[in-house]
């Protein structure tokens, strides 16, 4: 591959504005040269604001552009498999937003085409690479043998959730794979599988308690890692403001670690030495460390393991919890 990775974006929504988009240009040997969106005017404006020279309204046209040699897919999950397969068949490496797809079966399709074409597909589980979560892993030996893991997440509805005539795509299962659970829980589950191995058993109960949309808005689940560690999770996306919570707690034989996944509250370590907190800042763009790793991989300067193979188990767990697979 060329020493300069020239990205084409499929999708130019919210995630690309701050989390990912600027990071591509901040990495040495990486630049964004094209963007695609279905709304021509919106896409043109996005390209102008971010100094991107080319814009398209057709994904195939962007993929076929000979100047584009890698593709970033920031469209809703239901389109991930289609766009990823199109790009890989054109010989162009892919970086896909999480979750990898809207269901486990589509993940398997992506992996098969990646294997057949020998073209890599990377996935935006960027929290694996953030110093905050690396610190959590670093602290694990200080709590002894890990005994149990608990996820607790609760937020009130967003303003858009009350607009029945124009609901956000994240609560439309045919587009998102599920409700907000399918959008946010992947980060939590992926992190825990990175720490403790694949989840081999998972069972859940999903309900719609708020009645704002058809997708699940409340989920409880139990699971077990390949290392034998049991865990549980509780998610609610229609709670009261006073009930907001974003915590994962890891219980060990010699202590406990408590941390957040989205709010980045100070990490709390409790053991025989007392309670210690750690404030770990994020980089200016949260996807920067992962994108740097991907670029170095494509330039043959390193290896990025955040690929579609490693991301697929998270979709399996999501689908098991929601009863999408038996």
| 305 confidence band (pLDDT: 50, 70, 90) | very high
Taking residues 176-191, report their average pLDDT.
Answer: 98
Taking residue 255's Cβ as centre, other Cβ atoms within 10 Å add up to 19
Residue 18 has a pLDDT of 78
Residue 14 has a pLDDT of 81
Asked if 266 and 279 touch (Cβ cutoff 8 Å), the reply is yes
If you ran DSSP here, which 8-state letter would residue 307 be given? B
* 36 three-state secondary structure: strand
Is the pLDDT at 292 greater than 90? The verdict is yes
Residue 132 has a pLDDT of 98
Whole-Å CA distances, 11 to 70, 165, 268: 14, 23, 37
Is the pLDDT at 2 greater than 90? The verdict is no
Q: How many Å is the Cα radius of gyration of the chain?
A: 20
Query: What are the tens digits of pLDDT across the range 84-115?
Result: 999 999 999 999 999 999 999 999 999 999 99
Taking residues 32-40, report their average pLDDT.
Answer: 95
d(CA 169, CA 3): 37
* 222 three-state secondary structure: strand
Taking residue 172's Cβ as centre, other Cβ atoms within 10 Å add up to 17
Structure tokens at 11: 């999708």
Structure tokens at 66: 């000979």
φ, ψ of residue 206 in degrees (nearest 5): -115, 145
d(CA 108, CA 111): 5
Query: What are the tens digits of pLDDT across the range 128-176?
Result: 999 999 999 999 999 999 999 999 999 999 999 999 999 999 999 999 9
Is the pLDDT at 34 greater than 70? The verdict is yes
Residue by residue, DSSP assigns 244-299 as -EEEEEEEETTEEEEE-SSS-PPEEEEETTEEEEE--PPPSSTTHHHHHHHHHHHT
Residue 13 has a pLDDT of 84
Query: What are the tens digits of pLDDT across the range 54-85?
Result: 999 999 999 999 999 999 999 999 999 999 99
Residue 131: half-sphere exposure toward Cβ, Cα within 13 Å:
10
d(CA 69, CA 7): 6
Domains of the chain: 5-125+285-307 (3.40.50.720), 131-281 (3.30.360.10)
For residue 101, give every residue at least 6 positions away whose Cβ sits within 8 Å of its Cβ, in sequence order, or none.
77, 80, 81, 107, 109, 110, 177, 315
pTM, whole model, 2 decimals? 0.95
Residue 1 has a pLDDT of 64
| 16 confidence band (pLDDT: 50, 70, 90) | confident
Total residue count of the chain as it appears in this document? 326
Residue 19 has a pLDDT of 78
């Amino acid at each position: 591959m060329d020493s300069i990775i020239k990205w084409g974006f499929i999708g130019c929504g919210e995630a690309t504005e701050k989390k990912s988009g600027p990071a591509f240009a901040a990495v040495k040997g990486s630049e964004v040269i094209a963007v695609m969106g279905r709304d021509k005017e919106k896409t043109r404006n996005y390209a102008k604001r971010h100094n991107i020279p080319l814009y398209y309204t057709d994904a195939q046209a962007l993929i076929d552009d000979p100047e584009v040699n890698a593709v970033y897919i920031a469209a809703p999950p239901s389109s991930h498999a289609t766009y990823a397969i199109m790009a890989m068949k054109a010989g162009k490496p892919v970086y896909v937003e999480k979750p990898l797809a809207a269901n486990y079966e589509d993940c398997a399709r992506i992996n098969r085409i990646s294997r057949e074409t020998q073209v890599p597909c990377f996935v935006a589980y960027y929290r694996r690479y953030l110093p905050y979560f690396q610190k959590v892993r670093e602290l694990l030996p200080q709590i002894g043998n890990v005994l149990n893991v608990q996820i607790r997440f609760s937020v009130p509805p967003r303003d858009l959730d009350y607009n029945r005539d124009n609901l956000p795509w994240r609560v439309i299962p045919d587009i998102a794979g599920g409700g907000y659970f399918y959008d946010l829980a992947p980060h939590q589950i992926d992190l825990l599988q990175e720490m403790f191995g694949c989840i081999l058993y998972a069972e859940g109960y999903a309900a719609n308690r708020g009645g704002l949309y058809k997708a699940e808005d409340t989920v409880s689940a139990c699971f077990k890692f390949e290392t034998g560690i049991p865990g549980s999770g509780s998610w609610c996306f229609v709670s009261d403001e006073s009930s907001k919570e974003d915590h994962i707690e890891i219980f060990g034989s010699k202590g406990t670690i408590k941390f957040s996944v989205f709010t980045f509250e100070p990490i709390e370590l409790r053991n025989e030495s007392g309670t210690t907190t750690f404030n770990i800042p994020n980089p200016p763009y949260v996807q920067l460390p992962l994108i740097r790793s991907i670029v170095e991989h494509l330039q043959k300067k390193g290896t990025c393991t955040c690929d579609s193979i490693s991301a697929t188990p998270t979709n399996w767990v999501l689908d098991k919890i929601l009863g999408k697979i038996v």
